[in-house]
Structure 1
Amino acid sequence: MRGKSSIEVSAKLKHSFLFPDEYLDWANETENNFYVESPLIYEVAFYNGIKALKPWETIEYIPVVLTEWKKVKLEIESKFEKRDAKGATLPMRVGIGLFLELLFWTNGQPVELNPIIPLESLKIKPVNITERFAFILARPNLFHSYKQLAELMVEMEKLYVKSIIVRK
């Protein structure tokens, strides 16, 4: 039987778009298994002192995030092709969460959103990340926000690969 509980979103992760609810469902098996479908769940656990995976401590989970992005990207594209901006909200939320995981985990850190997203302090990041990401968060239902997110993912994937090469 799977154990489930509800955990509060930590103050370090409170963001009205990314976490519209104050609590998340937590399945006990999440402690030892990686579930890419729930972006930022491991940060929620970490900031609540729950023993769980810390995917930012290793690069092995990043390819899984990139694979999930490809699925989410298709879903977002489908919504915008149908001119369903409202329907794009949930997949954009997931896509933004995946981008944040890729960005912070490439830098070996858990995602932090509050009081501000510390983008400037990250060593590995796309050019003009602060302005570009602010645009996406301010207007997540716009097609242009999706295009910007997709471009940031491409740039971040290249930076991730470069970081692996530099480490070797």
Structure 2
Amino acid sequence: MNEIPKELQHPFFNDIQKSDREFVPFYYEQQYYRGFASFEPWQDLERVSETINREWQELSDSIKYAHQQRNKKEAGQLMVVGVAILVQYVYWLNEKPVSFCDQQIGIRLPIVPFNFSDRLQFIMQQPSLHLAFSQLTELMIEVNKLYAKKKVKKKHSK
């Protein structure tokens, strides 16, 4: 039962989904697509947003260190996890589980940062570049702003 559900199969993420890292990318989606009862964070982003940001901050520090050490291989591997965090955050912001069925990440989501697909494609083409890390950092900041905006709108609509 270790097979990755078809909805989560994407070549960029294959290696990390099989890793033994503490952070398991797309864990809740794996449970969801396998039909197991589990918490669905895309239904309660407020409950997990702090965890996402804490995980990103720790990972960001590790990526910075890898770049300072000029360890492109490690930086690239860590960036894949960073992209997974970003992708989860964007899908969950849109109240949907991550799905790669069309292989175009986030293409049909209504709430995404400006030029999201192009910027994400740039990052995924060369994740070991420091410029890709800078772009990923900016995207995380923008998604946080979109989340804050959504929270305010939700609060005022009640």
Contact persistence 2:17–2:24 (CA under 8 A): no
Runs (4+) off by over 3 Å? 21-25
**Counterparts of 2:25 and 2:119 in 1: how far apart (Å)?**
20
Contact 2:10 2:103 in 1 (8 A): no
Pairs within 5 Å for 1:50-129: 50-59=36-45, 60-129=47-116
CA RMSD of aligned residues (A): 1.9
User: Does the CA contact (< 8 Å) of 1:7 and 1:24 recur in 2?
Assistant: no
Summarize the alignment of residues 1-168 of structure 1 with structure 2, pairs less than 5 Å apart.
Answer: 7-20=2-15, 37-59=23-45, 60-168=47-155
Name the aligned partner's letter for residue 48 of structure 1: R
Looking at secondary structure, tell me which structure has more helix per residue.
2
Shift of 1:23: 5.4
Identity of aligned residues (%): 29
Alpha-carbon separation, structure 1, partners of 2:65 and 2:109? 32
Runs of 5+ unmatched residues, structure 1: 1-5, 26-35
- Provide, for residues 56-97 of structure 1, a one-character-per-residue CA deviation record: whole Å limited to 9, x for no partner: 111211221011101100000100111111011332121111
Deviation at 1:48, TM superposition (A): 1.6
Scaled by the length of structure 1, the TM-score of the pair is 0.84
| Contact in 2 for aligned 1:8/1:22 (Cα 8 Å) | no
The alignment covers a number of residue pairs equal to 153
